[in-house]
Amino acid sequence: MKFTLLIQSAPIDSQSSATALRFARALLAKGHEIERIFFYRSGVQSANRLALAPQDEPNLPLEWQSFISEHQLDAVVCIAAAIRRGIVNAAETARYGVEGDNLIEAAELSGLGQLVAACAASDRVITFGGGA
């Protein structure tokens, strides 16, 4: 079965990002496919490589980076949500005239069209966080 994962909450606000990562690991362990991991709204904070965690807590952006790279997964960060939260890649630093990119290397910035395409190509779309 092919899954798309949508992460909408920041790692510091809830357990959603950590739960999504555990779920993603379990999917692959059971032989399922991950079509795309899409970070949206505050969930884009999971792709901020400069986010630091106390020594006794997991550093979820680094864990996501390792997981995505290890399994060569497609990971997309909503560009509008990321820019609003100061998360940029090298191209956006040049575009906006700011210094220092902070997007994890395993992910790319793109728009909601990537989420729509992934949903259409997947058997299941699982959302983590974002509830009011």
pLDDT tens for the chain, 132 residues: list them: 999 999 999 998 899 999 999 999 999 999 999 999 999 999 999 999 999 889 998 999 999 999 999 999 999 999 999 999 999 999 999 999 999 999 999 999 999 999 999 999 999 999 999 865
Q: CA-CA distance, 120 to 46, in Å (whole number)?
A: 24
DSSP string, 106-123: T-EEE-HHHHHHHHHH-S
78 is catalytic: yes
What is the CATH classification number for the domain harbouring 81?
Answer: 3.40.1260.10
Of 7, 78, 87, 109, the catalytic one is 78
Q: How many structural domains comprise the chain? A: 1
This prediction has a pTM of 0.95
Can you give the residue range of the structural domain that contains 109? 2-128
Taking every pair of C-alpha atoms in the chain, what is the biggest distance, in angstroms? 45
